[in-house]
């Protein structure tokens, strides 16, 4: 986990490895589903964006500001609050160190701003940041299941 700009790595999470290449290994999802990255800040979650492939930029990057470049993998720098994003209870820039970072599988088109319950990867970010301090996320081996019934 690491930001793009030197000197502010503690404010970002990027799903890459220490060589600067894609860092997630996730299966392709069926049509109608996407992955979404999240960081939990004191009980409130911010999305890093949704994505279908791990080797391209996600559709987020709302909080990075106008400077810097966006790497070719999912992630986010939590530096500024854009005017088009209503946000209360979180002050940016916000450090991701010691925060819960996770990936969900979301229905697409999903208009709910909250994380979906299917979470294949989760980890608390370490207190040391930078590309040389990558964090291995924990996988959930239990596959969620459910049953839907409807009245006749």
30 falls within a domain:
yes
148 falls within a domain:
no
Structural domains of the chain, count: 1
151 falls within a domain:
no
CA 126 from chain center: how many Å? 15
pTM above 0.95, yes or no: no
What pLDDT digit, counting tens, does each position of 42-91 carry?
Answer: 889 999 999 999 999 899 888 888 777 788 889 998 888 887 777 788 88
pLDDT given at position 3: 42
93 falls within a domain:
yes
120 falls within a domain:
yes
Residues 107, 94: contact at Cβ < 8 Å? no
Range of the domain at 26: 1-141
Average pLDDT value for residue range 121-147: 68
pLDDT above 90 (res 152): no
Residues 5, 14: contact at Cβ < 8 Å? no
97 falls within a domain:
yes
Q: What is the maximum alpha-carbon separation in the chain?
A: 61
149 falls within a domain:
no
150 falls within a domain:
no
Mark residue 54 as left, alpha or beta (left: phi above 0; alpha: psi -120 to 50; beta: remaining). alpha
């Amino acid at each position: 986990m690491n930001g793009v700009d030197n000197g502010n790595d503690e404010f970002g999470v990027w799903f890459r490895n220490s060589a600067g290449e894609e860092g997630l290994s996730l299966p392709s999802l069926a049509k109608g589903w996407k992955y979404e990255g999240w960081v939990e800040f004191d009980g409130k979650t911010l999305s890093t964006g949704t994505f279908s492939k791990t080797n391209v930029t996600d559709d987020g990057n709302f909080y990075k500001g106008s400077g810097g470049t966006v790497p070719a993998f999912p992630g986010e720098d939590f530096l500024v609050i854009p005017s088009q994003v209503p946000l209360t209870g979180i002050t940016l820039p916000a450090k991701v160190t010691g925060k819960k970072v996770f990936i969900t599988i979301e229905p697409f088109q999903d208009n709910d701003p909250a994380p979906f319950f299917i979470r294949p990867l989760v980890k608390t970010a370490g207190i040391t940041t930078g590309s040389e301090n990558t964090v291995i996320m924990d996988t959930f081996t239990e596959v969620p299941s459910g049953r839907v019934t409807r009245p006749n």
